[in-house]
Amino acid sequence: MSDSLDALKSRLGDVVSLTNIQALVEWDQQTQMPPGAAASKARHVEVLSKLSHEMEVADETGSLIAAAEKEVASATYDSFDASLVRVARRGYDRARKLPTDLVAEMSRVTAMAHEDWVKARQNDDFAAFVPSLTKILELKQREIACKGYKEHPYDALLDNFEIGLTAADVDSMFSELRVELVPLVKAITERADAVDDSPVHQEFPEDKQRAFAEMVVSKYGFDFSRGRQDKSVHPFCTSFSRDDVRITTRFDPNWLNPALFGTFHESGHGMYEQGSDPSLEGTILCGGASLGVHESQSRLWENVIGRSYPFWTHFYPKLQETFPGQLKDVSLDAFYRAINKVEPSFIRVEADEATYNLHIMIRFEVERDVIGGKIAVKDIPEAWNAKSKEYLGIVPPSNALGCLQDIHWSFGGFGYFPTYSIGNLLSVQLYDTAVKAHPAIPEEIADGEFSTLLGWMRSNIHVHGAKYEPKELIMRATGEPMQSRSYMKYLKTKYSAIYGL
Ligand code: ZN
C-alpha cells in the first residue's frame, strides 16, 4: 500500500544525509581546517551539494511525491506522513526552479569566497572581496530570474529563509518598530552616563570564560552528550543530526560579553535542533521551522533570559567565584546594568538589545538596494556608512567594523538578515505566552531552574521540527500572528528601569 511513501522516505533520507555531510565539511571549514585546504574543501562541498540537489530535483523524486500524495490523502494534516509529503512537495517545487549547475557553482564560489572574506576582513581591504562578491551577486541574479518574484527581486531571496516574506513585509515591520525604537534609543543615549559597563571590560582568561558559559548552557538544557562547542571567526550553530549539534563561539580576553552571550545565543539554536521529536531524525522534518523561529530561540536564551535580573540573581555569585579579582567588588546591580548598557556600536553581533534591530535595518536596506541595482558593489562601503550614520549616529572607522563584519554575503546569504529581527520579536512573544501558561517561570529562573520554560518551548516549538510553516507554528503556539507589541513593551519596561526614563 505504502510503497511510494516508503521509497520517498528512503530517497529523501539520502538527501538529508548528503546535506548533513556537507554541513560537516562546512563546519570543518570554519573551525578546524588549515588555510591551505580551502580549494579541496570547496571541491568537496561542490560535489556534495550537486549530488543532493540532483537527487532532490530528479523526475523520480517528483513521481514518488505525486504517488505518495495519493497514499496520504486521508492522513490527518498533523500526521508524520502527511507532513513529510507536504514539506517534500514544497521543497521539490522550490528546488526544481534552480538548475543543478547553478546550485553547484554557488557552493563552489561561496566556499572560496569564505577565505577571501576572512582575509579582506582581517586586512580591512574591501576591494579584495569585491571580485568574489560580484560573482556571488551575478549568481544571485540568476537565482532570482529562476525563482521569479511579484514586487521586488529581493523578495525571491527573502523567501529562501522565511517562506513568503517580502521586502514590503520587512519594510512595514521596521516602520512599526522605528516609531518607538528610535526615540527610545535616543532617550537612552541622552542618559548614557547612567550605566557604567567597565566591569565587563576587564581581563577575563579565555578558559574560565568558556567553562562558565558552558556550565550555564548545560543548565539551560543544551545536551553536551549530543553536541559540542568550538571556536570560529563568526559564531554559528549547525547540526548533522538531532543528536550531533555543533555550536561555536569567539573569545575576547578583555570583554566578557562576546563569548558569554554568544554561547547563550548559539545554545538556543542548539537546543532547538536537539529538541526535534526523535521520530523526525534523519528526515526532512528534523530541524527548525524557519530562520526567524530559530532566531527566536537563540534570542530568548541570550537576552530575555541571559540578560535578565532573575537569571543573574542565581548566577552572579558563581561568576564572582569564577572571576574574583575582577568582580568581587562589583555589585549584582552594577553588573546587571553593565551587561545591559545601550550604546550605538559598530558590530551587530555585539550590539545591545535596543540598538540591535537598527543594525538589521541598515543591512536590509543596503542588501535590498544592491539586489535592486540601486547600489553598485564598489559603493557598498559608502552606502553602509551613510545608513550607519542615519540610524546609529556613528560612522565605522573601517570596513572591517562596517560592511565587512558579517560572514553572510560570503555564503550568498542575501535575504537572511531580517530573520534576526523576526527572531527578536518572536522571542518575547513566545516567552510571554509560556509565562502566561506557567506563571512560576520567572521565579524558577531566579533559582537557576529552566526545565519548565524549556519544556514549554520543546512541546510547542521544538518537537514539531519543520512540520509547520512559521506563520502556522506561531499561531498554534501563541494564538496570534507575529506582533511587535510584546517586544516593544519588553524593551521599554526593561530599559526605562535601567536608565530611569
Ligand atoms: Zn542566531
- How remote is the CA of residue 298 from the centroid of ligand 1, in Å? 6
The torsion of the CA quartet 454, 459, 460, 462, rounded to 10 degrees, works out to 70
- How remote is the CA of residue 483 from the centroid of ligand 1, in Å? 20
The environment of the single-atom ion ligand 1, i.e. residues with CB closer than 5 A, is: 298
Helices (H) and strands (E) in the chain, counts: 21, 3
Give the pLDDT of residue 26.
94
- How remote is the CA of residue 294 from the centroid of ligand 1, in Å? 7
- How remote is the CA of residue 76 from the centroid of ligand 1, in Å? 33
3-state SS, residue 33: coil
Task: Kindly list the averaged pLDDT for each block of 10 residues, start to end, along the chain of length 501.
Answer: 88 97 95 93 91 93 97 96 97 91 90 93 97 98 96 96 90 89 91 94 98 98 98 93 97 95 97 98 96 97 98 98 98 97 90 94 96 97 95 94 95 95 96 98 98 98 96 95 93 96 91
Rounded distance between C-alpha atoms, residue 326 and residue 127, angstroms: 41
3-state SS, residue 259: helix
Smallest CA-to-CA distance from 26 within 174, 286, 238, 245 is with 238
Rounded distance between C-alpha atoms, residue 439 and residue 240, angstroms: 36
Give the pLDDT of residue 172.
86
Give the pLDDT of residue 416.
95
CB 297 within 8 A of CB 461: yes
Rg, the chain, Cα only: 23
The torsion of the CA quartet 448, 452, 457, 462, rounded to 10 degrees, works out to 100
Q: Indicate which residues carry an active-site annotation.
A: 266
Give the pLDDT of residue 283.
97
Query: Going edge to edge, which strands form the sheet with 244-249?
Result: 227-231, 244-249, 237-241
pLDDT tens readout for residues 21-48: 999 999 999 999 998 998 999 899 989 9
Looking from the CA of 224 toward its CB, the CA atoms found within 13 Å total: 14
- How remote is the CA of residue 325 from the centroid of ligand 1, in Å? 32
The grid cell for 68 is 505518495
- How remote is the CA of residue 328 from the centroid of ligand 1, in Å? 32
The grid cell for 27 is 563546519
pLDDT tens readout for residues 121-136: 999 999 999 999 999 9
* CA terminus-to-terminus distance, the chain: 67
Give the pLDDT of residue 100.
84
Q: Cα 176 to the chain's mean position, in Å?
A: 22
pTM of the model: 0.90
Rounded distance between C-alpha atoms, residue 255 and residue 261, angstroms: 11
- How remote is the CA of residue 397 from the centroid of ligand 1, in Å? 26
Rounded distance between C-alpha atoms, residue 499 and residue 501, angstroms: 6
- How remote is the CA of residue 341 from the centroid of ligand 1, in Å? 21
Angle made by CA atoms 14, 20, 22, in degrees to the nearest 5? 105
3-state helix, strand and coil shares in percent for the chain, rounded to the nearest 5: 70, 5, 25
- How remote is the CA of residue 238 from the centroid of ligand 1, in Å? 11
- How remote is the CA of residue 144 from the centroid of ligand 1, in Å? 25
Longest dimension (CA), the chain: 71
CB 358 within 8 A of CB 186: no
Rounded distance between C-alpha atoms, residue 299 and residue 424, angstroms: 6
- How remote is the CA of residue 260 from the centroid of ligand 1, in Å? 14
**Amino acid letter, 75:** A
